[in-house]
């Protein structure tokens, strides 16, 4: 959908390279999302292959931001949040497969408790997620984002100080500390990650180990803010 007017959900997809993922991701979201929704890609402004791939789909939205060394994923999510108006946001990625029924399963959890602002989805990859203790990709109510922000920054969804890893750990940990997080096993958004044999390795995946060492330190330095 070109316009977000009246749509219930915006699926925000930060993009960095991987232009080949654009078509299957759009197909997966569109085929399996049971509500009026907007697909909003946020790309790097000089990533021409990605931009060209997205622009072949006039039914989706595209935003661009300058290149970032630190916090690229979080900055793209935050830009998507500020550039949209839908009452619910899905914090997406390019390497996901949406399963039938994922949206109604997540949506109904927001009606069970007025404090709920974040619903974790089942990614069928991460052990903590499979167990329902964590979420790598979540649905967020705009009300939650507007009322709270991150643990120390109003007006943002994700903390922008991580290279990439552990940003979800801070986000979920913060939501849990507010009594605002629930997990929904029936909302399946599969993570197609090479660690579980669901995608080929590439340079960005290969750099995960070195990023994690840096981001773990950042996480441990900040963890006192929500514990």
Give the class (CATH, top level) of 9-225.
Answer: alpha beta
Q: What is the predicted pLDDT for the residue at 174? A: 98
Q: What is the predicted pLDDT for the residue at 96? A: 98
Residues of the chain with pLDDT under 70: 1-5
pTM over 0.85: yes
Q: What is the predicted pLDDT for the residue at 103? A: 98
Q: What is the predicted pLDDT for the residue at 112? A: 83
For the residues of the chain, what is the DSSP string, one character each?
A: ----TT-SEEEEEE--S-GGGHHHHHHHHHHH--S-EEEEEEEETT-HHHHHHHHT-TTSEEEEE---SSSHHHHHHHHHHHT---SEEEE--SSEEEPTTHHHHHHGGGGT-TT--EEEEE-SSSHHHHTTS--SSEEEEHHHHHHH-SSS-TT-SS-TTSSSTTHHHHHHHHHHHTT-EEEEEEEEEEE--GGGTSS---HHHHTHHHHHHHHHHHHHHHGGGT-
Q: What is the predicted pLDDT for the residue at 4? A: 53
């Amino acid at each position: 959908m070109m316009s977000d007017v009246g749509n219930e959900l915006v699926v925000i997809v930060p993009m960095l390279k991987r232009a080949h993922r654009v078509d299957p991701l759009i197909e997966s979201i569109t085929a399996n999302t049971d509500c009026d929704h907007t697909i909003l890609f946020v790309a790097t402004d000089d990533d021409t292959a990605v931009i060209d791939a997205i622009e072949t789909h006039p039914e989706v939205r595209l935003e661009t931001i300058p290149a970032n060394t630190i916090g690229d994923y979080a900055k793209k999510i935050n830009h998507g949040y500020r550039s949209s108006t839908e009452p619910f946001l899905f914090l997406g990625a390019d390497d996901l497969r949406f399963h039938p029924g994922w949206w109604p399963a997540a949506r109904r959890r927001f009606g069970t408790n007025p404090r709920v602002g974040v619903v974790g989805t089942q990614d069928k990859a991460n052990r903590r997620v499979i167990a329902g203790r964590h979420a790598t990709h979540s649905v967020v109510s705009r009300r939650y984002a507007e009322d709270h922000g991150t643990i120390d920054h109003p007006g943002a969804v994700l903390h922008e100080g991580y290279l990439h890893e552990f940003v979800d750990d801070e986000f979920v940990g913060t939501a849990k500390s507010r009594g605002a997080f629930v997990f929904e096993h029936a909302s399946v958004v599969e993570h197609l990650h090479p660690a579980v044999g669901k995608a080929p390795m590439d340079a960005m995946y290969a750099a995960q180990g070195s990023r994690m060492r840096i981001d773990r330190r950042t996480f441990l330095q900040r963890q006192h803010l929500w514990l």
